[in-house]
Amino acid sequence: MPDPFLLGCAKTEITPPLGTYLGGYGNPERFAERVDDPLFARALVFSQGDLSAALLVLDISILDYAERCRIVDLVQAQVGIPADHVLAGSIQTHSGPLCHHVWGWGDKNYEYIETMIPKAVATVGAAWESREPVRMGVGVGKSDAGINRRGLGPDGSVSLGENPFGPYDPELTVLRFDTEAETKAMLLNYGAHPTTRHGEQRGISRDYPGVLVDAVESVTGAFPIFVNGVVGDVAPRNTFPGPRGSQEIGLLLAREAMHVFPKITCEPETKLGMHVAEMRIPLAPLTPRAEAEAALAKLDPHAERGLERARLEHYRAVLAEWESGQVKTHDSVVQNILALGEVAIVPFPGEPAAEIGLRLKQHSPFRHTLTASTMNGNWGYFITREEVARGGYERAIAMAYSAHYLDEKVDDFLVAENLQRLRKMRD
């Protein structure tokens, strides 16, 4: 008889103090004046026999790879779950503390991070202590809560707007975990930027994911966790800005989740699986030294915000890398895919374009393949070759993260690389 499939869950509040700079929109005057809804660290832990894994989701902007590594190492030391078996990321709220590096959009909040990390680790520990046998089931609904945001003008120009014929993933996937007595937890996966609130709003908020999980919990009594899907070029389709927009999108998704929930059949057995291996993300060639020097000479050396500051720091980093003599061709991350029976959760250390997640889902050997954006690091936007060629915001902001752009075929790489790993898990 197979070992029982155990699940535990926990959450801890991680709301920052008033006065905290709210990242996401780059407004330098956007400091928290109120708490519209609190922020949390949420964790699901799984174990079966000698195998254990954890999923940690933080209600922050984005978690950089360095902090991800600190958290998972502490989880291994304090809880016992292997570091590389922990998926750690964020919902990517744009109304929370800025916890990732991005030139021109504000300073990374190290003071907050130092208080948040021990709470995040403790949340995983509390979830571990609450484990009990569960059965798991899967349901899939459809929602037009998201829309492709790469608006195309009549001249072919790209702007942040709405593209009604652009790709997005309409599937809302619901994982249900039942004990003998009740539904213990639910995992909800849907892809859209948490940007229903504009850059003038000064309230701390989880945006629409907070409305979604609160509504689901109030109806089912189960512990909810939200994992954002393919978000790179997908916006929420809200008609109201601000808090009303969060309600609009969150409740739209909650309604669909509640439509799916009672139809889910939990299977008597679920097999837990993990695949862990290095993934070397290919980088575009470094800008030639002379070109970087010429570009830098044209920029205002005192630029403080936005793309002007990003360009300035980008070209400075390019020259620093040439000076170091260590020109990179790849960046390495640990890729750890979590399998729960017929469900594979594939983390992306950044924001993949919708087409990448849709291709992965179409060709995956698993019945359900969920993309987890901004999970296990932050390498910026993973966009398609077509989006590289056409340009736009997602391409332009790439220089806000490092000296390198990603390789123009990174979309094909990510699909092929992850499919290879998913197939190995099936062997």
CB 368 within 8 A of CB 342: yes
1 has pLDDT over 70: no
Within 83-127, strands assigned E span: 86-90
Q: Is the pTM above the cut of 0.85? A: yes
Amino acid in the structure at residue 69: C
- Residue 186 contacts residue 225 (beta carbons within 8 Å): yes
Say what the pLDDT of residue 24 is: 87
pLDDT of residue 37: 96
Confidence check: pLDDT of 165 > 90: yes
CA 327 to chain centre: 28
What tokens were used for 121? Answer: 């680790």
CA dist 383 and 232 (Å) reads 7
Cβ-based burial of 90 (10 A; exposed 0-12, middle 13-18, buried ≥19): buried
Round to whole Å and give the CA distance between 168 and 146.
7
Residue bearing tokens 């969150």: 250
Strand order in the sheet with 330-340: 272-282, 330-340, 343-347, 368-372
The DSSP symbol for 199 reads: T
Residues 171, 367: Cα–Cα separation, whole Å: 13
- The average confidence (pLDDT) of the chain is 96
pLDDT tens by residue, 123-161: 999 999 999 999 999 999 999 999 999 999 999 899 999
**How many angstroms separate the CA atoms of 194 and 413, rounded?**
27
Angle, vertex CA 286, rays to CA 284 and CA 287, nearest 5? 115
333-361: average pLDDT:
97
Residue 253's pLDDT is 98
- pLDDT-derived band at 200 (thresholds 50, 70, 90) equals confident
* pLDDT at residue number 242: 86
Which tens digits make up the pLDDT trace of 353-395?
A: 999 999 999 999 999 999 999 999 999 999 999 999 999 999 9
The pLDDT-based confidence of 241 (bands split at 50, 70, 90) is confident
Alpha carbons 175 and 77: distance in angstroms, whole number: 29
How many residues make up the chain in this entry? 427
Assign 170 to helix, strand or coil. Answer: coil
* Residue 369 bridge partners (DSSP): 344
Distance CA(374)–CA(234), nearest Å, equals: 14
- The residues, any chain, with a CB within 8 Å of residue 146's CB and separated by 6 or more, are 168, 169, 170, 190, 191, 192, 234, 235, 236, 237
| CA 206 to mean position of chain CA atoms | 13
Long-range pairs for 318-326: beta carbons < 8 A, 24 or more residues apart: 318/286, 318/287, 318/289, 318/292, 318/403, 319/289, 319/292, 319/293, 320/403, 321/286, 321/403, 322/286, 322/289, 322/292
The DSSP bridge partners found for residue 372 are 347
- Find all residues with CB under 8 Å of 362, minimum gap 6, and list them: none
Q: Residue 131: exposed, middle, or buried by beta-carbon count in 10 A (0-12, 13-18, 19+)?
A: middle
pLDDT of residue 337: 98
Pairing verdict, β 51-58 and 86-90: parallel
Q: What is the pLDDT of residues 273-309, one digit of tens each?
A: 999 999 999 999 999 999 999 999 999 999 888 999 9
The whole-angstrom separation of Cα 90 and Cα 60 is 6
Amino acid present at 168: Y
User: In angstroms, rounded to a whole number, what is the distance separating the alpha carbons of residues 151 and 392?
Assistant: 9
SS3 content of the chain, % helix, strand, coil (to 5): 35, 30, 40
Q: Which residues partner with 345 through β-bridges? A: 338, 370
Round the CA-based radius of gyration of the chain to a whole number and report it.
21
Over residues 225-230, the mean pLDDT reads 97
Q: Which amino acid would we find at residue 136? A: M
Residues 99-123: pLDDT tens digits?
A: 999 999 999 999 999 999 999 999 9
Q: Is the pLDDT of residue 26 over 90?
A: no
